[in-house]
Structure 1
Amino acid sequence: MVVHVQQVLRDHGVSGEVRHLAESARTAQQAADALGVEVGAIANSLVFEVLGNPVLVLTSGTHRVDTAKVAALLGVPELTEAGAAFVREHTGQAIGGVAPVGHPEPIGTLVDITLARHDQVWAAAGHPHTVFPTTYDELLRITAGTAAEVDAD
């Protein structure tokens, strides 16, 4: 899966290289510690289920997604965190390593505006031991995502 994500990143003109980490980075804090960066510069990839369809929310590692706020943004009654089987089915990747790209089918994506505060952000690259550097604007571009305020007030 990582090789596929790497190719998709190249196809989108992403210059940052996938980095393999010695330790698993299933959480934003683990990734930040491994990379020596602020936890806020980690783009958590969280998959939610909305009316049977996936929605990907890329949020700053310092935030928790406010599901009621995001549901209202999307104009749907509710947003539920997807289980492992749903995530793998729709992304081809395991929870803790979901990349913003490289899924079997395009997934609607929201990108936390707080990530724009960082010159460089890090996102998963298809496996809990892989990440890649990018920027907020690049995340919006490669995911065809929508900038959104997704965190709890």
Structure 2
Amino acid sequence: MSLENARKYLAEFGRDSDIIEFPVSSATVELAAKAANVIPARITKTLSFKIDNRCILICAAGDAKIDNKKYKEFFGVKAKMLTPEEVLEFTTHAIGGVCPFGVPENVATYTDISLKRFSTVFPACGSSNSAIELTCAELFALSKAKEWIDVCKGWQETEEI
């Protein structure tokens, strides 16, 4: 169902036919990188957090980790990830297929600058075996991201490949 939500959403932009459905799992960064035949850093992980009983999504590079200090400086609260049950409830996507496509309007999405070093990236499309290849500008636009932010660490050493 979640893949269908993402497909329907992307169809509004003429991009539904660009969804890649893999014959294998892409539920983790490592599995998605193998399935897409790219380095793990180019996989866009969509992380879900709770702020004041609402959900925000942060799209970040596969090799990036949330920097708690930067997160608190930007959002004004400590980072609190959603439980798997909350992720499904807030986003309509299950862990392993969480993406910024087809989520409820009250879910705010942000894109982390860790992605900007790549010409294209691969976010999931609502299932544990799907993705779509997008430029960073396309990801920002299609996800209706509020802004580019800098809340991750651990990725600066990786160059584009």
TM-score by length of 2: 0.87
Once residues 152 and 125 of structure 1 are traced to their aligned partners in structure 2, the CA distance between those partners, rounded to angstroms, is 25
Aligned residues: 152
Query: What's the offset of the Cα at 1:68?
Result: 3.0
> Any idea what the Cα deviations from partners look like across 1:72-131, whole Å, max 9, x if unmatched?
212x22120110111001111101101211013342112111212111110100011111
Amino acid at match of 1:22: P
Structure 1 pair 24/15, CA: closer, same or farther in 2 (3 Å)? closer
Q: After the TM superposition, which parts of structure 1 deviate over 6 Å for at least 4 consecutive aligned residues?
A: none
What is residue 128 of structure 1 aligned with on the other side?
Answer: 128
| 1:14-29 equivalence runs, <5 A | 14=15, 17-29=18-30
Any unmatched runs of 5+ in structure 1? none
Greater CA deviation, 129-138 or 16-25? 16-25
Amino acid at match of 1:40: A
Once residues 104 and 77 of structure 1 are traced to their aligned partners in structure 2, the CA distance between those partners, rounded to angstroms, is 22
SS in structure 2 opposite 1:79? Answer: coil
What is residue 8 of structure 1 aligned with on the other side?
Answer: 9
- Report % sequence identity: 26
Once residues 138 and 67 of structure 2 are traced to their aligned partners in structure 1, the CA distance between those partners, rounded to angstroms, is 24
> Any idea what the Cα deviations from partners look like across 1:34-57, whole Å, max 9, x if unmatched?
111111111101101112110101
| 1:14-53 equivalence runs, <5 A | 14=15, 17-53=18-54
Amino acid at match of 1:73: F
Any unmatched runs of 5+ in structure 2? 155-161
What is residue 100 of structure 1 aligned with on the other side?
Answer: 100
TM-score by length of 1: 0.91
Across the aligned residues of Structure 1 and Structure 2, the Cα RMSD in angstroms comes to 1.6
Once residues 110 and 68 of structure 2 are traced to their aligned partners in structure 1, the CA distance between those partners, rounded to angstroms, is 12
1:43 and 1:121 in contact (8 A); partners too: yes
